[in-house]
Amino acid sequence: MRLNFKNMNFDRNTIIGFVAMMVLLFGYIFFTQRQAGALEQDKQRAADSLAQIEAAKKKLVDTVALKQDSANRETAANLQAAGGFQSAGAEQLTVVENELIKVSFTNKGGYPKFIELKKFKKYDGKQVVLGGANHQLIYAVNTGNNKSALTSQLNFTAGAVTKTADGQTISFKIADSSGQSVEHVYTIKNNDYLIGWTIQLAGADKLLTQGILNLNWDITAQQQEKDIKYEKGQSNVAYVEDGDYDFAAAGTGDSKKLGDKTKWVGVKQQFFNTTVLAGNTFSYAETNWTVPTEEEDSLQKVMDVKSVLRFNLAGTTSATVPLQLYYGPNDYHILKTYNNSLESHVQLGYGIFAFVKYINRFVVMPVFDFFDKYIGSVGIVILLLTFFIRLIISPLTYSSYLSGAKMKVLRPEIDELKKKHGSDQQAMSMEQMKLFRQAGVNPLGGCIPALLQIPIFFALYSFFNANIGLRGESFLWAQDLSSYDTIAHLPFNIPFYGDHVSLFTITATLTSFLISAYNMQMTPTQDNPVMKYMIYFFPIMLLFIFNSLPSALTWYYTVSNIVTLVLQFVIQKFIISDEKIHAKMQENKKKPVTKSKWQERLEQVQQSNQKLKDMQNKGGKK
């Protein structure tokens, strides 16, 4: 059978309809499956959410239960340890404040837990708080037969706050039925950061084992400044032993044992300190501290410090232990009023440059305070302080420039000596020294004034690092003169530079570079190519050294450099005359030269070396 397709009549509209129907069918199937999948996902998400909620509820219940169980166990342990000093109730805080501090005392141990400094704020705008959750001042007492407890396990009864003529007092007391008691009495004076603390023990011979009271002082120094790395570098554990102040840098942590002549132990941060002072001395002291790593900086901890401060109270039934607690700023003037070396926390010079603290105490600080008294802008105060210092050292500056001008005038004659003696350095040195003596030139005349200015720089470096008066003070684009200024934050950290750009550091570097360039222009070309470019190395190093230093220091250095440039130009162009210096040197050459004993010995050594060299040369020729 043969089909004749030509005779078959296909309806084109039918075919188009069939195709359209197939497309719609496949589209419907695809859409339906997709919707079903989405519905299933929604159901799964809903189920997951319900499961998470249930898990969270269960976890919350479990956490609450665990906390309650832990609290119950702690309460039971405390009650058992308390022995005859039974007391009940939750922790209660009692607040006592004056114009400067707000102290929150806890009845669990009867000690100050939080100390808020009313006049100071942290880098984040919150109030500065010293102490905190990890702050403890506690010790162990015997509470019964073979029983002992830490004072933090005992609920003291807080007495009423009593006003006195010059402040307030508050006491915390706990006692047993036999008459033994422990009482802490605190005195907070008006407008004062120092808190008086007296420990009174009735039945001390029974309360203390072998009459020893070991006061455990634990504290975490929390971050107060924006640059925690720099704050760590300015922090330490300090103490006064046998009348001498000393400290150990925070570093990465360490420990220190002190003897029976220790007056106080303190934790010093960049601008604040917490210190425990004995009424007389501790019979023994030991302190240990750890410093979180850079990876742990998010914890905002500068260091954790644990100290044991011992008192020997053997042989007495009733004992009184006088103490003082300082929570406050490292303000030199405030700390000085206490007459117990607390002002040493303000480190105006230490190490090999310890002597510069006297420059700061008797020159820099009085001048700064004088200007600060009458001028509102600390930046302008630093400007005037810079002018004053440059005025004081102006004789050294002039002497240095004059020596440089003399060496410049002698340069042609020195070049002639080099041509004459060639590679004979010994003969060259002898002739050069002779020329200096004849012309009346001291070859060290330019170095000595510069060296004498180094202590001044280190004095100012210490002063700007330690002066709390700079903290929070703004000037131009710098928001806080006690820290570096920032005009840009980098998305990465450059080794030895940091992750920010300090404009004052840039101005200090550029002005230092201009001084170097000007000196190169005014000084004959160096023969040594290394020395020729070495003078530019120092300004480049400043860019890395200064970038994280206080903007007060870099602002001072910028102003000082500008003054140096102006002085160099004026002195060398209008005051020092090369012609007059040359004429004066020619006159000096005509005068008889008197040699010092040192010069005579030096000349004898040079002559002996020259003779020895001549003999060796003759022997070599033979």
If you average pLDDT over each of 324-338, 344-358, 449-463, which comes out highest? 324-338
Write down the pLDDT at residue 343.
95
Q: Under a CB-based contact definition with an 8 Å cutoff, are residues 236 and 247 in contact? A: yes
Tokens matching residue 141: 């007492």
Q: How far apart are CA 543 and CA 88, in angstroms?
A: 62
User: 337, 328 in Cβ contact below 8 A?
Assistant: no
Cα 150 from Cα 207, distance rounded (Å): 11
In eight-state DSSP terms, residue 475 is: B
From CA 20, how far away is CA 23, in angstroms rounded?
5
- Measured at the alpha carbon of residue 402, what is the angle toward residues 397 and 403, in degrees to the nearest 5? 100
Helices (H), 324-482: 332-336, 356-359, 365-374, 378-392, 394-421, 425-439, 447-466
* Closest to 282 (Cα-Cα) out of 253, 311, 302, 255: 311
- Tokens 């719609």 identify what position? 24
How would residue 609 be classed by pLDDT, with cut points 50, 70 and 90? low
- pLDDT score recorded for residue 28: 47
Nearest in space to 68 (alpha carbons), one of 84, 90, 94:
90
89: left (phi over 0), alpha (psi -120 to 50) or beta: left
The span from the first CA to the last CA of the chain, in angstroms, equals 135
What confidence tens digit (pLDDT) does each residue in 510-558 have?
Answer: 998 888 887 776 655 455 566 566 677 888 888 898 998 999 999 999 9
Is the confidence at residue 464, as pLDDT, over 50?
yes
At residue 169, the pLDDT reads 96
Summarised one tens digit per residue, pLDDT across range 247-258 is 999 888 899 999
Average pLDDT over residues 29-58: 56
Check if the beta carbon of residue 127 is closer than 8 Å to that of residue 116. Answer: yes
Confidence of residue 433 (pLDDT cuts 50, 70, 90): confident
Residues 6 or more apart in contact with residue 96 via CB below 8 angstroms: 103, 105, 161, 168, 170, 186, 188
How many Cβ atoms sit within 10 Å of the Cβ of residue 63? 11
Tell me which amino acid residue 393 is: I
Q: What is the pLDDT of residues 475-486, one digit of tens each?
A: 999 999 999 999
With 70 as the cut, is the pLDDT of residue 237 above it?
yes
| Helices 378-392 + 551-570 axis angle, to 10 | 40
Q: Give the pair of three-digit tokens for residue 255.
A: 């420990």
DSSP 160: P
Structure tokens at 150: 């830490």
In sequence order, the 6+-apart residues with CB closer than 8 A to the CB of 559 are 382, 383, 386, 387
Q: How far apart are CA 251 and CA 462, in angstroms?
A: 18
- pTM for this one? 0.78
In total, the chain counts a number of residues equal to 622
Q: Which two tokens stand for residue 423?
A: 């590679």
CA-CA distance, 87 to 99, in Å (whole number)? 34
CA distances from 430 to 402, 427, 440, 600, 604 (A): 24, 5, 15, 12, 10
Mean pLDDT of 223-250: 93
Residue 412 CB neighbours (<10 A): 10
Q: How far apart are CA 110 and CA 199, in angstroms?
A: 10
Phi, psi of 305, rounded to the nearest 5 degrees? -125, 130
Give the up-direction half-sphere exposure of residue 315: CA atoms within 13 A in the CB hemisphere. 1
Joined tokens for residue 493: 């950290």
User: Average pLDDT for residues 601-620, to the nearest whole number?
Assistant: 64
